[in-house]
Structure 1
Amino acid sequence: MGTMGTLMRWLLMLVLLALVTVSRVSGAAEVIVEGSAPIRDGDVGKAREIAMRRALARAAESQGAIVNSQTTVRAGSALETAQVRASACTGESQVIAESIKNDELTVTVRVTVLASGSCVARCQRSYINKVVVTNFAFEFPEHLLPGERAILRYYSAGETARMIRKHQRLLVDFDSLSFPYESPARAPEPFMGKGETETPFAVLARKHRAQYVLSGVHRDFALSQKTWGKLNRRIEIEVFLHDGATGGLLDKRSFAREAVGDVVLSDASVIGSPGFYKSDVGKVLGAQIEDIARWAEDRVACLPFMARVIKSEGRTLHIDAGAESGLSVGDTLNLHIWRANDVRGINDQGLGREKSFQTTAALKTIYPRFAIVELIEAPKVQEPIHIGDLLYSQ
């Protein structure tokens, strides 16, 4: 009995040692953290979203952080600025408790934290970008049966945004009625009215306080002949990611899958319901939306953060981003202006505008959806700062 007990103890020690070794090799650690946010205007969902992001940021910083600080002396007063960058990133997370007290929501989260060497696939941005999703039109409307057109007409923007919101890596909004291209066949060529100089993507991003725009086109939705007595439906969606400042195309990708079986939508099909996503066509559409959301998150999370000037008073500026975007007092942003003249191509087509760095601004006061910054130095070009000018993360 004694020999058996000793053997069991040795086996247990070996198992524990193996677990520790695997944990160290994988560069992962599990932590429990809290995040809090005030409930404003009774919006518990928004408070929960902000609290969750703060908890995840705290988890990443628990494994170490890089602090960049700067002191600027001007007119006898010192301005302290600092920026904190986590040296790790977060993996899987689970909310284990939630409470509300004095109009403040607190979440307790169990988080797997990955060492910096284990998270090269995901960017470690200090700030949270926002993307606005538009309608994904159909290049060939004739692929849809008459009863399907009303069901599928506006589903894509809302469902893609819901999936991105579920993952909680980005801020997101959607505009189901907007399609920013000349036509589905000509996408990603933007629709520009005569005499218009601002792209529809810049208009959408400013309207929704977003940094980037996600649009798309259903390239294929056709039914094909029966296989073993079942219908096939090939679904291909091409998506485009645009810069919210200029409208420039940053990336694009096609997602194609095939549904077999019950692939015709009826009046009983409720897009977004659990029952729909259990159907043959719903499973495929759900997987495609998941793929698109993951791709957009990975791309947008790696892109620079930017905020727009919404009010200018001397050296003091108001910008359209705040605590929900991860901004903190003392952070610094770079003010840029866009040159007035477009860069022209060989055939005199407009290719875009150049931007130039002007000065650095420090965040002085943070509110949930906007912030107040102060210019550290005067701009290089002695021009007034205009509403809509952009500040970028460093």
Structure 2
Amino acid sequence: MAEIYSAEGVAPLDNGAVTAREMAIRDALQLISIRQGATLESVQVLQNGRQSESGNLRPVAPVQGTMKVVKEFQQGKLYHVKVEVDTGSEAGAERRDPACAIPPGRSLRRRLVTTYFDVARPAEASDMSDLATALPTELSRRLSRNAQLMVRDANTISVLADSRVAEPAAGWDIASQLGLREDVQFVVAGRVLSSSITDKEPRPSFFESNNTSQQGAFYNGPFAGMFGMGVKYAPTRRQFDFEVWIYDGLTGSLLANERFGGEAKGEVVPKLPKPFASEAFWMTDYGKLINQLLNKAATRVDDVISCIPFSARIVKQEGKRIYINAGLLDGMAVGDKLLLYKRSTGQPVRDLISGRALGMPESLNGDVTLIQVQPNFSIGVAQGATAPVSDGDFVRFSQAR
């Protein structure tokens, strides 16, 4: 049954009305999510003989439906917004999390680069010599089918300085540098974990030389060569497992580590050379498996980044006028409002135990309204900034709702 939920969110006006409005909307959506289902987290602390308790409600899942703002006003130093969410949807209509800042009628094209995939066991992939560079290229081609992505391919660059390092989070520094150099919001890398043969079956061979690069075992016992006949154990099953790592191109923090795998049966090692990603390779049973896995990986990458707000960097500033590295080709339009952020420090926040980089601390610093949009850059006016705007600061899209 479809229902309409309503809630009123509140936020301080410290960083301007646009910023406060967006925060108030998110506050209201959080309240609606809790009404639809939440878990209670409670913590008790005993210190110096005194007991204290704190609790927190956490929504089970984000609210789904169509959102609209029905009332908003300023009162003192607070901004109030009342929203309604209709959880019903027409047949066949796509339902999205209303917290996603996606403007109706147009798309914001996020920039992404694919990089080198390390091959954990090169000997297993001896028949696919260019796998490490061809795999990211094929992934980028599938990602390019999405109109909301601008994809680049840097298949010879690895985010791991040492291939012996197994932890993908160690690539945050190179991922951040690559994101800055390639001017992208996301960096995608990965690792091929296995391409091993899992089963072999005997089959007769006629006048075949055992001196071959084909993977398999050959019988050379008595009568093996009689009448030019022999028995060969040929591969019939082969697995393919790989990971895809998604990094934030600004901070280098690891956003996701997804694993994909499966097993093919039939023609898994071609009799004649068929280069990886060639048309002949895709026609093999093994090629069909990898093709399916790459399509799944591309879909998962899109799922992970689809609700992450569009962001761009400030490349120049003249007083209140700022220039950002996103323009008409990225989906920007005159009148768009973006939230302005500043990095709090130059160093990432790290887990003190593992040493893993968790991300860069940041603070809201007002908002920006675009007044001019060129193909590759835009000019905006900063408002409500409490700290000086500088090159390297960044903006995130705030949907007019």
TM range (shorter): 0.5 to 0.7
Q: Is 2:314 the counterpart of 1:314?
A: no
Change (3 A) 1:341 1:274: closer
Match of 2:265 in 1: 260
Give the match's secondary structure for 2:375.
Answer: coil
For residues 153 and 294 of structure 2, the distance between their equivalents in structure 1, rounded to whole angstroms, comes to 14
User: Aligned equivalents of 1:246 and 1:162: distance in 2?
Assistant: 25
Structure 1 residue 235 displacement after superposition: 0.5
Q: 2-side partners of 1:128 and 1:67: how far apart? A: 26
1:154: which partner in 2?
133
Q: Are positions 1:232 and 2:237 aligned together?
A: yes
Letter in 2 for 1:393: F
Equivalence for 1:334 = 339
* 1:159–1:272 contact (8 Å) kept in structure 2: yes
Query: Aligned partners of 1:340 and 1:273: how far apart in 2?
Result: 47
**In the alignment, which residue of structure 1 is the partner of 2:93?**
115
Name the CA shift for 1:391/1:124 in 2 (closer, same or farther; >3 Å). Answer: closer
Q: Is this contact kept in 2: 1:139–1:185, CA < 8 A?
A: no
1:374 aligns with 2:381: yes
Give the 3-state SS of the residue equivalent to 2:166 in structure 1: coil
Relative contact order higher in (CA < 8 Å, ≥ 6 apart): 2
Name 2:207's counterpart in structure 1: none
State the 1:240 CA deviation: 1.2
Separation (CA, whole Å) in 2 of partners of 1:143 and 1:337:
47
Q: What SS does the aligned partner of 1:247 have?
A: coil
1:220/1:236 contact within 8 Å kept = yes
Question: In the alignment, is residue 163 of structure 1 matched against residue 139 of structure 2?
Answer: no
Q: Which residue of 2 aligns with 1:323?
A: 328
CA drift at 1:67:
9.1
Aligned residues of 1:122 and 1:301 also touching (Cα < 8 A) = no
Higher helix share: 1
Residue 144 of structure 1 is matched in structure 2 by 125
Q: Deviation string for 1:36-73 (max 9, x for gaps)?
A: xxxxxxxxxxxxxxxxxxxxxxxxxxxx99699x9xxx
2:364 — aligned with what? Answer: 357
Shift of 1:251: 1.4
Tell me: CA distance 1:331–1:152, structure 2 relative to 1, closer, same or farther (3 Å): same
Name which one, 1 or 2, has greater alpha-carbon Rg. Answer: 2
Aligned to 1:392: 396
1:256-284 alpha-carbon deviations (Å, 9 max, x no partner): 01122222268742444433212112111
For the residue of structure 2 that corresponds to 1:203, the secondary structure is helix
Between the aligned partners of 1:176 and 1:122, the Cα distance in structure 2 is: 34
Q: Against the structure 1 CA distance between its residues 267 and 175, is the aligned structure 2 distance closer, same or farther, given a 3 Å change threshold? A: farther
Distance in 1 separating the partners of 2:128 and 2:245: 25
Aligned to 1:131: 112
Indicate how the Cα distance of structure 1 residues 120 and 133 shifts in structure 2: closer, same or farther if over 3 A, else same. same
Q: Identity over the aligned pairs, expressed in percent?
A: 24
Residue 163 (structure 2) aligns with: 183
Unpaired stretches in structure 2, ≥5 consecutive residues: 3-65, 73-85, 204-234
Secondary structure of the corresponding residue to residue 167 of structure 1 = coil
Per-residue CA distance 1:203-227 (angstroms, 9 max, x = gap):
2122222111111100111123315
Q: What CA distance in whole angstroms lies between the structure 2 residues aligned with 1:160 and 1:306?
A: 23
CA shift in 2, pair 1:357/1:157, >3 Å: same
Q: In structure 2, how many angstroms separate the alpha carbons of the residues matched to 1:65 and 1:368?
A: 31
Distance in 2, matches of 1:360 and 1:123, equals 18
- Please give the residue correspondences for 1:299-310 in structure 2 after superposition, counting only pairs within 5 Å: 299-310=304-315
For the 8 Å contact 2:334–2:370, the answer to whether it is kept is yes
Conserved? CA contact 1:337–1:357, under 8 Å = yes
Distance 1:323 1:65, change over 3 A: farther
Q: 1:141-171 CA deviation, whole Å, 9 max, x = no partner?
A: 12222x532x323101111010111233422
CA deviations 1:179-210 (Å, max 9, x no partner) are: 1024265131324xxxxxx8111221222221
Question: 2:144 aligns to what SS in structure 1?
Answer: helix
Question: For the residues of structure 1 that align with 2:258 and 2:380, how far apart are their CA atoms?
Answer: 37
The count of corresponding residues between Structure 1 and Structure 2 is 286
Q: Does 1:172 align with 2:143?
A: no
